[in-house]
Structure formats: C-alpha cells, structure tokens
Structure 1
Amino acid sequence: MTHPLKSGIIPAPIMPFTENAAVDWPTMERYVGQMASGGISALAMNMAAAEATALDHAEQIEALTRTKAVLASAVPMVSGLIAGHTAGAVDHARRLVDAGAEGLVVFPPLPTFMSKPLPVSVVTDYHAAVVDAVDVPIIAFQTANAGYPVGTIRALAELDRVVAIKDAAFDIDRTWEILEEARETDGRVAVLTGNDTFVLEALLMGCEGALIGLAGAFTAEIVKMQRFAAAGQATEAYTIWNEIGPIARVCWSNPLRDYRPRMKYVLMKQGIIPTDVTRAPQTRISDNDRRKIDALFDRHGLSEAKYLPQG
C-alpha cells in the first residue's frame, strides 16, 4: 500500500476566525469533517494557509486535538512545524506529536534558510534533529524564499522517516529538477506539489500528490483530478482543472500574502465559513479581488455542490 503521506491530496485548510479574530472552533470542526469525507489521503493542520504564524502554540495544539477527535482515525493528521531555531523546532515537534500529529511538515527556519548559498549539511542537520526527537514521518518543505540546493533530497533520503518533500517554490523548472533528484532516491522521498497555480501540470510531470491550500476548497474535485492524472487520463483531469485553475491563479496572485483572505472569501461563497476575518497585520480581501472571484464563480459554475470540500 502507498504511504498516505507520499501520494494523493493532502489539504492544508484555512483557519476560520470570528469577527473579533478569535479561532472559530465549531466552524473549524465542521470544516475539517467535510474535507475528510472528500477522499483525501491526509489532512495538514497548522500550515501557512491556516495563518499558523499568527496562532500561538496553545492554539496550534488545540487545533490538533480538536481535529483528531473529528477525524477519528479516518485519515492521518499531520502538522506544520514552524520554528526559527533547532532547539525550538525539537521542543515544538514533541508537543505537536504529543497532541496527536501523525506526521510533521518541517518549515524552513527563517531567516536563516533565506541566505544563499545554503549548505546541504545545514538543511539535513536541522531535519535530523527533528527526526531524532519524534517517531513520526517527516515531510520537508521547500518554499520560494528558502529554496534547497541540489543534493538536499538525496541527503534527506538518508534520514529515517523523511518520506516526502513539499515543493512550493512556484518555479516549474525547479519542480522538474526536484523530481529528477527524487527519482535517484528509489522511492524513499516522494515529491508533493505545493504549487497551487500549476497543480495539475506538476502532477502530470510526476509529483505523486499535492499538499496544498487550494484543496481546502474544491477538495473532492481536486482528489478526482489527481486520480485522473495518476492514471494518465490528462483530458479528464484538465476538464476539472480548467474550471478550478483560474481561481487558483487569482487567489495566489501578487501580493501572494493575500491568498489567505481570498481563500476565506471562496469558502464563504461556498457556505463553509461565515467570515473572511484574518489576524492583523494580514488584511481582509480587497474589493477588486472579491469582484474577480465573484466573476469566476459565475463563469465556471463553482457554486455547484460538486465543488464543495465533501463533493
């Protein structure tokens, strides 16, 4: 059986807030339950889409315990691990696993990993410390502002429990390079796309799955699209992507930070969450972005029930 963290669709849901910017726990619980019934491989909490850097550690822990109770082992639950230094990552990793995380997505520690050149050894040492601290699968995470050098994936493959890397560099040429290097690990490290604007293209290039915020909406349809892609049915996959892709490109357009309120507005239109509130200094959706999303919903029929997270 394929490891659930190495293929398929792993949504990174947004975190709903009330009008006073408190976490809306009842809405979150309903929302993750809907995604869990959409055919996903796993669910990734405390990711960037959830404004995890705006959540304190106690809220991150509560998000895991509440989600764990909702999922009731129906699908694995993983958590983003965000820290600025190695000792902090090790401590927080243990807390997240104690709260029920069945895997960790290790964010690059910033600003350290932003400087270039970044030695491969620095990346592997950081991940090795987390691997040594917890007994769960690990997903590495390359971002646009912290790209990992060639050789990183081969080195990570030597660490126990590193099963995949999330590629969110938003650079299709880099995606190809990552896939080529991952093939040299003989399947030890899978590549999950995190490039919301070209999800299908990355899947057809060879990414085994996707760990993406876009799948926080349209979940079941994106699951179907990934399965078509894995089966080589590109025409069927593009039938879905041609409807969803345009809104992905609006939500993840510049300024990129605003994909969170844009996605919250999408979920509001779907009736999943009641507000598009974000935590300052993140702003709410602009009138221009709202008009663009409204137009795409009308043009592509995105209000149809099939586009709901549960399908």
Structure 2
Amino acid sequence: MTVRAGILGATGAVGQRLIQLLEPHPDFEIATLTASDSSAGKPYREAAKWRVDTPIPDTVADATVTETDPDAVPDDVDLLFSSLPSSVGAAVEPGFCEAGYVVSSNSSNARMADDVPLIIPEVNADHLDLLEVQRDDRGWDGALVKNPNCSTITFVPTLAALAEFDLERVHVATLQAVSGAGYDGVTSMEIIDNAIPHIGSEEEKLETESKKLLGTFDGAELDLHGVDVSASCNRIPTLDGHLENVWVEASDDLTPEAAAEALEAYPSLDLPSSPEPLIHVFEDFERPQPRLDRTLGEGMAISVGGLQESTFGLQYNCLAHNTIRGAAGASVLNGELLLKNGYL
C-alpha cells in the first residue's frame, strides 16, 4: 500500500527536509505541497529557496504549490505532514482534522493538549490510542498527532532507557545548533564567535513535554510522569545537531556501567525510519560531537557518551540531529506508526 501524503508548509526548512525524506520512502508518495498565499500557484522550484544538501527531487520541482486550506488538498490524500509555524498550525490544523485528514505535525501548538498524542514511537507508541479519545471528544474524522520539540527528542529516549531505575530528578543543559531556529532565526552577527544562553520558551518545552512522553495512558486518560525536569537552553554556532549535558538522579543505584547496558539494550521499532541501534553509546569521553556523530542511523539515532558518576547522580552527554530525528524525521516516523496501527 502506498500512502498519498501532503506537506503543509513545504517551502520552509523542515518542509524541505520532509521532501528529502519522503521522496525515496517505501510507503509514502508526495501528492500535494502547500505554503503561504504568496507561494501558492508557483512551481515548487520557484516557491522554495532550496537549502537541503541534496537536489530538489524531479518529482517535486515542477509541482504546483497550493494554499494551506483543506479545500485545496485532494480528497485521496491519506496523511498530511505539518511543518507550519506554531501560530499558523494552531489556526489551520484543526480544520484539516475536521475535514477528515490525519495530520502528523512538527509544529509546537497543542503538544500538551490532553487529547493530542505527543509521540516518540520508540518511547510511547501506546499513547497513539489517545486518538480514539480525541475523535470522540472533538467529533473529528481525521486526527492530530504531534512530535516533540527537537531538544526534547534528544534526551527523552535516554530517560526512557533509564526509567527502570526509578527516575526522580533530571537536569539538562542544551547546546543547540542554529538550524533549530530556522534559516533566518539567528543572524551571523549574533552567533559567530558567540553563544546565546537563552532560547525563548525552550526550557518549558523540555520540562513539560518530557513528563508527557514518559507518562502512562490507561485507555482513557494520560497521567504525566512524576520526574522533576529542569532545563537550561543555549544556542551555539554549530549548523546541525543538538548536544545536551544531562544529570539524572534515581531512587535505585544507577552506575555508569548499568546505564550503558540499559541504553545499549533499549529497542528500536520495526518501522522504516527507526534506526538499529536506537541509542549508540560511546566509550570515548570526547564523543558524541555534532559534526562527527549527528548523522548516525541516517540522522535518526541518539548517541550518548561521557557516562560517569557525579554529585547529582549519573552524568552523560547525548546528541541527535535536530532537523532529522528532531523534526522532519520524527514526523515521518509518526506517520509510519499511524500506518502500522491502522489509522490511515
């Protein structure tokens, strides 16, 4: 079965990465591309200033971009990937769901809504059944699924692997790449020879989304995990790859050796975009590094290093590619889970 898919916000950085990932995908076929009114009606090659490190696929280059409206999307499209700005997503995504479309969204709006599944498939695939609650409550024929913030995705799989040790407190400091802010998000004069020790609203996303992802779903309600998470987020002059320093306090004895074993054993899924292994553990304390390790598992793996005991329990570093695992690839992986679980 080939799923006809569309991309909402196809001309932006994440939209372009979605095209790169979907064009060769075994299950998904790009059937429609939407963007702002100023881009609608243009061939994609003219509407988008292409910045991805592979050429625009021929199957997409001459496709006509449409407006981001349910009436402009063909009825035979089964799945929409949304990379819209959050303000736009909040305004238009519900309309697509009301019209019967299933939306796998990278946009930050509604991530913490009680009836919206926030999913990392390898961590909380069972939360997808929250869609049954969503459809009953909202009367939608379609559905809305979210993937987390790019920095949340980086460290939460490592917490899931360590959850057996009864997590109590987590402290995380992020060193986030400039691509996480979008192409125009940080000027060269701001970031070259510099680091910016604040990213607006980012700390809150890590602190709240992690508790939802690690929570439990009983078929009717989702209970947040009780772990306390505190975050400090920093922008640094790397292009791609969010590096994070993590301190974990647990009730049970959590040694570096036990942590390494649990991280390495944490399973991936039988989905095309889920890498094997999901978590790569380095013995070298100088790894992972963004330039060297962000493309592990075709950009979908999480890498960990520097496991050691500290005053605050276990300390380690982790890394993920923020525009692949942390954004476009996460949405594609959620689309694969939707397909496998019969929601398309």
Normalising by structure 1, what TM-score?
Answer: 0.36
Q: Which structure's CA Rg is the greater one?
A: 2
Structure with more relative contact order (C-alpha pairs < 8 Å, separation 6 or more): 1
Normalising by structure 2, what TM-score?
Answer: 0.33
Question: Which has the larger share of helix?
Answer: 1
Question: Which has the larger share of strand?
Answer: 2
